Chains A and B, each alone.
Chain A
Amino acid sequence: QQEGLDDGPDFLSEEDRGPRAVNVDLEMDATLQVDISDALSERDKVKFTVHTKSTLPNFKQNEFSVVRQHEEFIWLHDSFVENEDYAGYIIPPAPPRPDFDASREKLQKLGEGEGSMTKEEFTKMKQELEAEYLAIFKKTVAMHEVFLCRVAAHPILRKDLNFHVFLEYNQDLSVRGKNKKEKLEDFFKNVVKSADGVLVAGVKDVDDFFEHEKTFLLEYHNRVKDASAKCDRMIRSHKNASDDMNRIASSLYTLGTQDSTDLFFFLKLTVSILVFVLKKIEARVAADEDLKLADLLKYYLRESQAAKDLLYRRSRGLVDYENANKALDKARAKNRDVLQAETNQQLCCHKFEKISESAKQELIDFKTRRVAAFRKNLVELAELELKHAKGNLQLLQSCVGVLKGNT
């Protein structure tokens, strides 16, 4: 993965971010590199081309590509979650479903309303909506790529057989989406899990590290959720304001072009400058914040949930272990089913310790990743804002100069 952004020669244009800007700071590893080299958006699905470069002996070739759809990513993620061997790891959060509905609806409405607006307006709106569509598309590709990269970077998960099949098997995995029954089952499972989670969370942990992590993660997760929601709302307001700006710009443009006499030359100039400024400066700030802050917060909302899930599994394991201990004591006291109780207790103990061991490292890694990702994004946000502000300032000063010089 590339760490920095591509800087285009025109500092005012949107950098081509490509699907490589990510919210995680992962180390490059030559033995297994995964990326999404291409993506195709069809009517109701997106087809991702997953490209792998590997020196590992597990694969038949050193470089290969397959085409995958969103459901197959989810299948892979779920298989990790359901695998008890991975109970002690933070499972990289699943990428969100590609959602073009809103954008598609807007495009459709535009098409229907084509007769009611001027050709210019129509072309302009179409361009905007297409840009929006493209932005959503790029984001969904990035989210899917991040998921795969996280798996590839994880020392244990990268060895997962399902993962290899996902990467290599060049046919459809025949993974269908969950049917209604399964979705309902999932829903109930989640309800049970959260109830259980509450119970289990109440159990005080002997280990200070984990106790601290539990409290911290709970609060952090809630605050990230709040910040993410407020950030989204702020961005929506910004988008509304920038839509207004665009509408104003096009009205001004029409107004300016109506006045054709010399008398209005300078008004036309003024208006054209204003139109340009409005579109370039006022309308684009939302894009920066959207890309940086909102994505970052959303991603860490999901990651902190995954970390919470890990802690839950560990606590569950602890409770099971303690219960097994109690059962063993009871069995020993009654001298009945002692062997069974012993085996069970050993199993629980082993499971719990395994989880605890890896969990500690996972949580430390999580913190490192989180801090690094925030740093990267905050620095980039500040640099981007500065770059644009400086560019805007230059532009505005020369505009004002032109206008005042002509008075």
Chain B
Amino acid sequence: MADTARDPPPDRTDFHEVEDGEDLFPEPSAETPESQPASLSAVDISTNANGPKQDSFFDDDNEDLFAEATEEVSLDSPERDVLLSDGPSPAITPITPPTSVITPRIGHTHDDMFTHSSFDEIEEEESGDSFDIHISVSDPEKIGDGMNAYMAYKVTTKTSMSLFKQRDFAVKRRFSDFLGLHSKLASKYLHIGYIVPPAPEKSIVGMTKVKVGKEDQSSNEFVEKRRSALERYLMRTVKHPILLKDPDVLQFLESTELPRAVNTQALSSAGILRMVNKAADAVNKMTIKMNESDAWFEEKQQHFENLDLQLKKLHASVESLVCHRKELSVNTAQFAKSAAMLGNSEDHTALSRALSQLAEVEEKIDQLHQDQANADLYLFSELLGDYVRLIGAVKGVFDHRMKTWQKWQDSQMLLQKKREAEAKLQFTNKPDKLQQAKDEIKELEGKVQQGERDFEQISKTIRKEVSRFEKERVKDFKMIIVKYLESLVQTQQQLIKYWEAFLPEAKAIS
């Protein structure tokens, strides 16, 4: 049952304009009471409000989220434990008022060069603290032995945000904990349109090597790859203004003990069930024929389909390049040795020396490529892999929108049928049946309204999410490309040094 005070006004555009112009942040001394005109209700940051009594918390605008879920939640309140559910239940705000009032501050979080939509500006400003959090995943440590062994990672958070109890803290987590976190977030947010960053992939082969205790380069590389991927996963998750405030995320980062996430094993029965469900979903998706009235969505879906293809192609090429670079490195080293041998057998002293020098130069160049260019190429490849998976999440969100639409349509059709049945009943002399029909119709009308609201909500959310996603994507890629170019600059500078040193040796041959 929805709290009517929180219904968004029918005309959305007005609403936006209102938000733009308003002073959104009351001073601490002037905390706005709950009774606000409906048009401003969503902007209200009431610190004394009772939790909204609606069943689905996220029916309301996101601004409520900032207001309610976070500032109100005293991090020590026992009610918080209510939120820490394992299942797909939505987060429920507590009823008791917090012991301290957290003053929201206007902070500008991103140094974006792009114009943001009005929504995003509000989002950033309402989030209170400026976005200042850094998470690092480090110190992989093997715990246990044999097939039950696992890797424990240290997750360190450094932040000045008031969201957290401390400024600098660390916990130990294992891979299944990360998967568990993602699973919770996905079940809470995906179906209403939030792009939840996917967790790093499981790897049975990789993990088995580690478990078995194989201490070689490939298993070290695997651990490093995973560590880096986990770090990127967490950073991406907390960069999302809504996910950052999710209690599961907070608990993941802060609490020393975490309940073991179940059903995350690769080959568990739950895992297989999930796969079956995914397949069923895929079939369903094919049968949903949605009348897309919004061109934006049609265009965006096409855009993401194309992006998906292109990124996969690019990813494959970059991985191939990383492989060939490794090969090149090996072959260059071999050639260097061979050139040195040739230099040794050459009986003209100056030429012999020059050839040995050439061998050295080649070796140094090889080392150079290994250290610099290859490393950045590797990062690029990893980023592409992340984005391929992210796009998968984006597509999933679009699918959820379709399902939501379907649900709405289904209720509407059902309502229609009931109405027809009721009309027929009018002519019969069955008053109880008629009343029953009228009741059912009332209920269905409510459902239809809800369905429509859900659909509009998820559409709105997706628009925002997509905009945020695209900005992040541009930032990420730009950063990594600039980094790569900078490393190329360094490479060229080094190359110049090496060849400049070699040239006089070559000229000295007479």
Q: Which residues of A are in contact with B by a Cβ distance under 8 Å?
A: 216, 219-220, 223-224, 226-227, 229-231, 233-234, 236-238, 240-241, 244-245, 247-248, 251-252, 254-255, 258, 262-264, 266-267, 270-271, 273-274, 277, 281, 367, 370-371, 374-375, 378-379, 381-383, 385-386, 389-390, 392-393, 396-397, 399-400, 403-404, 406-407
Surface stretch bound by A, among B18-26, B49-57, B494-502: B494-502
Q: A273-B485, A281-B488 known; A264 and B314 CB under 8 Å? A: no
Sample of 5 more A-B contacts, CB < 8 Å, known A237-B331, A386-B496: A226-B342, A230-B335, A255-B307, A375-B354, A407-B113
Residues of B within 8 A of A399 (CB): 485
B274 at the interface (CB under 8 A from A): no
Query: Hey, which chain B residues are within 8 Å of A385, CB to CB?
Result: 495, 499
A251 to B384, CA, bound (A): 12
Q: Is B235 an interface residue (CB 8 A)?
A: no
Q: Is the CB of A403 within 8 A of B485?
A: yes
The answer to whether A241 touches B474 (Cβ under 8 A) is: no
When chains A and B are docked, how far (Å) is the Cα of A277 from the Cα of B376?
15
- B477 in complex: contacting residue of A270, A396, A406, CB < 8 Å: A270
Task: Give per-residue flags for B321-346: 1 if the beta carbon is below 8 A from chain A beta carbons, else 0.
Answer: 10011011011101101110110111
From known contacts A227-B339, A264-B474, infer whether A378 and B328 are also in contact, taking CB-CB under 8 Å: no
21 CB contacts below 8 A, A to B, read A216-B347, A220-B345, A227-B341, A233-B334, A237-B324, A241-B328, A248-B314, A248-B318, A258-B303, A262-B114, A263-B474, A270-B482, A277-B485, A281-B492, A374-B354, A375-B351, A381-B506, A393-B496, A396-B489, A400-B482, A400-B489
Q: Which of B484, B500, B506 contacts A378 (CB 8 A)?
A: B506
Closest to A248 in B: B317
Tell me whether chain B's interface is mostly helix, strand or loop, or mixed: helix
Contacts of B325 in A (CB 8 A): 241
In the assembled complex, the CB of B497 is this many whole angstroms from the nearest CB of chain A, namely 9
> Is there contact, CB below 8 Å, between A230 and B474?
no
- Point out the residues of chain A lying under 8 angstroms from B307, CB to CB: 255, 258
Docked Cα-Cα span, A263 to B320, in Å, equals 30
Q: By the criterion CB–CB under 8 Å, are B310 and A379 in contact?
A: no
User: Closest CB of chain A to B443's CB: distance in Å?
Assistant: 44
B330 contacts which chain A residues (CB < 8 A)?
237
Q: For the complex, is B486 an interface residue (Cβ under 8 Å from A)?
A: yes
Secondary structure dominating the interface of A: helix
Bound complex: CA of A246 vs CA of B509, how far in Å?
Answer: 38
Separation in Å of the A390 CB from the closest CB of chain B? 6
A238 vs B335: C-alpha distance in the bound complex, in angstroms?
A: 13
**Chain A CB within 10 Å — which of B307, B314, B317 has the most?**
B317
The answer to whether B345 touches A375 (Cβ under 8 A) is no
B348 within 8 A of A: yes
Partner of B324, one of A223, A241, A378: A241
- Kindly provide the distance from the CB of B366 to the nearest chain A CB, expressed in whole angstroms: 9
CB nearest neighbor in B for A281: B488
B148 within 8 A of A: no
Q: In the complex the two chains form, is B113's CB within 8 Å of A266's CB?
A: yes
Bound-complex Cα distance A181 to B350 (A): 48
Which residues of chain B have C-beta atoms less than 8 A from A237's C-beta? 324, 327-328, 330-332
What separation, in Å, do the CA atoms of A266 and B115 have in the docked complex? Answer: 13
Q: Residue among B310, B327, B341, B506 with the most chain A CB within 10 A?
A: B506
Decide if B358 is an interface residue (CB 8 Å cutoff): yes
Assembled-state Cα–Cα distance A264/B478 (Å): 10
Given A396-B485, A400-B485, residue A258 in contact with residue B477 (CB < 8 A): no
> At the interface, yes or no: B470 with Cβ under 8 Å from chain A?
yes
Asked whether any CB of chain A lies closer than 8 Å to the CB of B507, the reply is yes
A277 CB contacts on chain B under 8 angstroms:
485, 488
Give which listed residue, B306, B331, B470, B495, contacts A258 with CB less than 8 A: B306
B306: chain A residues within 8 A (beta carbon): 258
Given the contacts A230-B334, A237-B328, A406 and B113 also touching, CB distance less than 8 Å? yes
Nearest residue, chain B, Cβ from A385: B499
A263 touches B318 (CB 8 A): no
